[in-house]
Copies of this chain bind each other. A is one copy, B any other.
Amino acid sequence: MITSGDHMNWKDNLIKIAPYVAGEQPDKRDFIKLNANENPYPPAPGVIKAIEDFRGADLKKYPDANARPLMKAIAEDLGVDADNVFVGNGSDDVLALSFRAFFNSDKPIVFPDITYSFYPVWCEMLGIPYRTLPVGEDFNINAGDYNCENGGVVIANPNAPTGIGRDLSFMREILDANPGSVVISDEAYVDFGGVSALPLLREYDNLIVIRTFSKSRSMAGMRIGFAVGGDTLISALRAAKDSYNSYPLDSVAIAAGCASVADRAYFESTLKKVMATRDRLTAELRAMGFEVPDSSTNFLFAHHKSRKAADIYDFLKSRDIYVRHFRKPERISDHLRITIGTDEETDRLTAALHEYLG
């Protein structure tokens, strides 16, 4: 029998993680949203048509468990085998499953102190020990630091929120120092001018490349991410997926994803527009007294020489322009992360900044 003194102990067994506080979603219209690294342009026309044309009656059946049509489309696009592609519910899902699938060591996994903020969250969620390695004063990751004992390596390249992209020799140095660890190359932003580690997959079977349809393919609302890697890693990823959720991608997303991949010309033209706007904004911000590293992404990481990031953030917000200000870690608390919008949005941003800076 259970005594009454025990009667509340189910609360002791609840997950011990502080509730997440979501980013700012203004409850009004007509604001400029440059705080989530979303693409300002719509997805390819074929994506919109694929959704319109989707046979809703087919929803009564389960989707393909591995999103095979999309696996094949991505594989063909990248020139790899379909069996070397794993598709998941956004790259957050693919990354979390990768942490679960690859990092079962007592040694800490390593990643930069300034990088995607979800890495430590997954480590805590999954009980994976981790250690962060400080980026340099210029926010560059020092590849040499990764020649250390570890249970795995995670590198966002280009890195976030710095926007800094590194070349193949950088990834090669990390891979050469880590033949005993799985190395994740998180390439969420690589299409905007970064250098992918994909060509290294033939040489390093402990490398896995993870990407998303959210940014460069304008499909954040559709939740599609994928991994490319050798048979051993992709098999482990499938085992982790099959132990969690049989059908992570719905049938409409599979159809829409295939349509996106099918239109390479639209994809490339959108990238070009975003990169052109980015390069113009970089120059304008620098002329206004901002320090901005060259970006290989669809956002800029900006620090003003004489004005506080928090104050600029507040001023822009008062003008209905939302950028991202990270209050921590302290190293970046005086920086802003500004998503590249349309040219018109960018003009309104620079006008507001001119107004503020006088």
Please give the residue numbers on chain A whose beta carbons come within 8 Å of chain B beta carbons, in ascending order: 1-2, 4, 6-20, 22, 33, 36, 38-43, 47-49, 51-52, 54, 56-63, 65, 89-90, 92-93, 96, 100-105, 121-122, 124-125, 147, 149, 151-152, 177-182, 206, 214, 218-223, 232-233, 235-236, 238-240, 242-253, 256
Contacts and interface: CB of A to CB of B under 8 A. Distances in A.
Given A61-B38, A61-B220, A93 B245 contact: yes
B250 A250 contact: yes
A299 to B, nearest CB: 15
17 contacts: A2-B178, A8-B180, A13-B181, A14-B104, A15-B239, A19-B239, A19-B242, A51-B54, A52-B52, A60-B218, A61-B220, A61-B221, A89-B248, A93-B248, A221-B252, A222-B251, A223-B250
A1 B221 contact: no
B147 A13 contact: no
A60 B89 contact: no
Contact of A13 (B12, B149, B152): B152
Q: Could you say how many copies of this chain the assembly holds?
A: 2
A49 to B, nearest CB: 8
A89 B92 contact: no
Contacts of A239: 15, 17-20
Contacts of A181: 10, 13
A100 B54 CA distance: 35
B221 A251 contact: yes
A19 B56 contact: no
Given A8-B180, A15-B100, A223-B248, 7 more contacts: A36-B62, A47-B56, A58-B221, A60-B218, A100-B125, A122-B243, A220-B247
Contacts of A2: 147, 149, 177-180
Contact of A51 (B51, B223, B246): B51
A119 to B, nearest CB: 12
A57 B43 contact: yes
